[in-house]
Structure 1
Amino acid sequence: MARTEYYDDPAAPAPNSLVPAATAAVFDEDGQLLLRRRADHGLWTMPGGAVAMTESLSQAAVREVWEETGYEVRITGLVGTYTDARHVVVHGDGEVRRQFTVCFRAQPVRGELRAGDESLEAAWFAQEELGVLPMHRTQRLRVDHALRGGKPHLG
């Protein structure tokens, strides 16, 4: 399914749904960040997705990391909340989503790297490699906040 992201674009269609989502900034013992390249638009993102009706935000983040990368993780903190109304996501099925995302910090517990069904690939990246990866501006902001650490971003 196709996915198009708009940011502060007057040509963006009006949202018709509001969806809570959870993502995780997963760091290994060497400080590398786990990312996956989405199959629907080809950009790199932290693993994450919509929260199911039966799970908490942190449970959703753990599930999404497993499904998209093959790693079981432990949540260790909060990177931030992201609720910018200027960010609109259009899906091929007609859904125009205003998404709000909670981004957690996590560590791998066990697993083996693999790309899930919604990913073209998954990989670990050293901090100096992240700047050249194709990424939507809202994702890059979250990555920057995760790398910086400190107090969670509340926005």
Structure 2
Amino acid sequence: MSVAGAVVREDGRVLAIRRADNGTWEPPGGVLELTESVEDGVRREVFEETGIRVDVERLTGVYKNVTRGVVALVFRCHPESGTERVSDESTAVDWLTPEEVAERMAEVYAVRMLDALQVDVAPSIRTHDGRQWLGGQIPG
């Protein structure tokens, strides 16, 4: 299972990384370690990839890649401390507007961030094949 943090600043910008392995822009995240809680995994992954410590607020979506058999949980977070920095897993870290999210990220990742920006809605449950969403209405 993987987790990701949709880290939202007070000005509405969201934290994103450009991955070192494939150059794509995505929310920071990764695979849970066997003994850690889901929330601890989100905090660890965001910090490792960006240098930002976060408070995990709420689950905003559950996303299944039917091609790879991976389920990703995405949590809205807010930044607590730290300074942006790259890591072995990221070549860039940036705070993006929702418009920049839609421009820079592949749809399967942009939707996760846009879902997290929705206020007072239940978590989204979506399925994709690694490239396209399979049913359901996409925000935006």
TM-score interval (norm. to shorter): 0.7 to 0.9
Partner Cα separation in structure 2 for residue 132 and residue 83 of structure 1: 23
Aligned counterparts, 1:4-153, within 5 A: 20-86=1-67, 88=68, 98-133=69-104, 135-149=105-119, 150-153=121-124
Question: What are the superposed Cα offsets for residues 38-66 of structure 1, whole Å, 9 maximum, x if unpaired?
Answer: 01110100000000012011111100000
2:137 corresponding residue in structure 1: none
Supply the AA of the counterpart residue of 1:64.
E
Instruction: Return 5+ residue gaps in structure 1 as ranges.
Output: 1-19, 89-97
CA distance in 2, matches of 1:99, 1:129: 26
Alpha-carbon distance in 2 for matches of 1:25, 1:103: 7
Q: Percent identity?
A: 36
TM superposition score normalised by structure 1? 0.76
Q: How many pairs align?
A: 125
Select the structure with the greater relative contact order (CA < 8 A; seq sep ≥ 6): 1
Distance 2:109 2:102 in 1: 12
Q: CA deviation at 1:137?
A: 2.7
Residue ranges of structure 2 left out of the alignment (5+ in a row)? 127-140
Aligned-pair Cα RMSD in Å: 1.3
Separation of aligned partners in 2, 1:52 and 1:27: 24
Q: Matched residue of 1:116: which SS?
A: coil
TM-score, normalised by the number of residues in structure 2: 0.83
